[in-house]
Amino acid sequence: MSPKAVWILAEQREGKVADVSYELITRGRELADQRGTELCAVILGDNLSDAELQTLIDRGCDRVLHASAPELRHFLPEPYDKCLQALIVKEQPEILIAAATSTGRTVMPCVAGPLRAGLTADCTGLQIEADTGNLLQTRPAAGGNIMATIKTPERRPQMATVRPHSTRPAPSISGRTGRIDRWQPPADLLKSRVRRVDYTPAVETQAIQDADVVVAVGRGFKKGDNVELARKLANVLDGAVGASREAVDRGWLPYPAQVGLSGKTVSPKLYIAVGVSGTVQHLAGMQTSETIIAINSDSEAPIFNYAEIGLCGDLFTLLPMLTAKIAAA
């Protein structure tokens, strides 16, 4: 038992340690060195291999504490919350930091609440206050206009989530040694009212807010297989594929691709709305695009009122033509 330890909440996917864990080690190692204490990585999953857990030690942890059960294979808020709380109560770490990923953002408040611990979200800087040993947690505040430094001196553990990519991953150092402890949680901690049904990685659509060109898919595509036509056009333009809510609700594209009032706001150089009618809710997410091209078979479609260039016709004819012309140019 290490009462003053610094803990990081490492993450895993499909039994492999997620890269963001190595960024947390960079943070945690600095804090542990400043405090002169042990750095421990807590990782929840289903029987991870020693070799995988050793990577956490190679990157700078002194100890790995692996809560292992089939129910912890994938992230589920209830068992993760309960197991983490039980470990904290048992071992009393001084500091616990997690990544501000969907896992960290979900589980850390659930843990901090019942423990009545302070939690600072989305930190970009962490350090130890020299005279008190308290954790100083720095994060943007007031709309990004100031950097606020926060501390929660009365309660333990001091908890923070850290913005991913705000530091470099710790490098691997061969020959580092440490301790790996495995813990099998009791059944009552593993109950969950939520069941994992499916997982779809949001790879292709993550970039819609950063892309110079967005090709938006609307209900006019008729079915998911046809989205390939938009992908081909986006590829030749080095752009990303967005979607109307109708297209997302039909499962043709994942929610992160949705543009509009209840989706993302984008402002690319070129927005190509294809088979999108141009409702106010969609316009709310793309109206500020530099140039809008609309492709629609209905000459009365409202989107034409907002487009610099309008192509009235069948998208199944126009898109392949356009893609071929641009590819050949």
Q: Check residue 134 for interaction with ligand FAD (CB under 6 A).
A: no
Binding range to ligand FAD, per CB under 6 A, among 132-140, 167-175, 202-210, 293-301: 293-301
Q: Are 82 and 183 in contact (CB under 8 A)?
A: no
Handedness of CA 45, 48, 53, 55 (dihedral sign): negative
Nearer residue to ligand FAD within complex by CB, 11 or 246: 246
Q: Check residue 296 for interaction with ligand FAD (CB under 6 A).
A: yes
Nearer residue to ligand FAD within complex by CB, 26 or 258: 258
281 is in an annotated binding site: yes
CB of 36 to ligand FAD, least distance (A): 51
323 is in an annotated binding site: no
CB of 210 to ligand FAD, least distance (A): 19
Q: Check residue 209 for interaction with ligand FAD (CB under 6 A).
A: no
Residue type, 236: V
Nearer residue to ligand FAD within complex by CB, 66 or 245: 245
Q: Which of residues 227-286 bind ligand FAD (CB under 6 A)?
A: 244-247, 258-263, 275-277, 279, 281-282, 285
Using CA atoms, how far residue 43 sits from 67, 111, 248, 329, in Å, is 6, 15, 34, 52
The SS3 assignment for 79 reads helix
Q: Check residue 157 for interaction with ligand FAD (CB under 6 A).
A: no
Nearest to 233 by CA among 202, 287, 268, 274: 274
CA 230, 231, 235, 241: dihedral to nearest 10 degrees?
Answer: 80
219 is in an annotated binding site: yes
Handedness of CA 255, 260, 261, 264 (dihedral sign): positive
Instruction: Identify whether 157 is preceded by a cis peptide bond (ω within 30 of 0).
Output: yes
Q: Check residue 291 for interaction with ligand FAD (CB under 6 A).
A: no
Contacts of 35 (CB under 8 A, 6+ apart): 4, 6, 94, 95, 128, 133
Q: Check residue 60 for interaction with ligand FAD (CB under 6 A).
A: no
# binding residues, ligand FAD (CB under 6 A):
28
User: Contact positions toward ligand FAD, by CB under 6 A?
Assistant: 218-220, 244-247, 258-263, 275-277, 279, 281-282, 285, 295-298, 301, 314-316
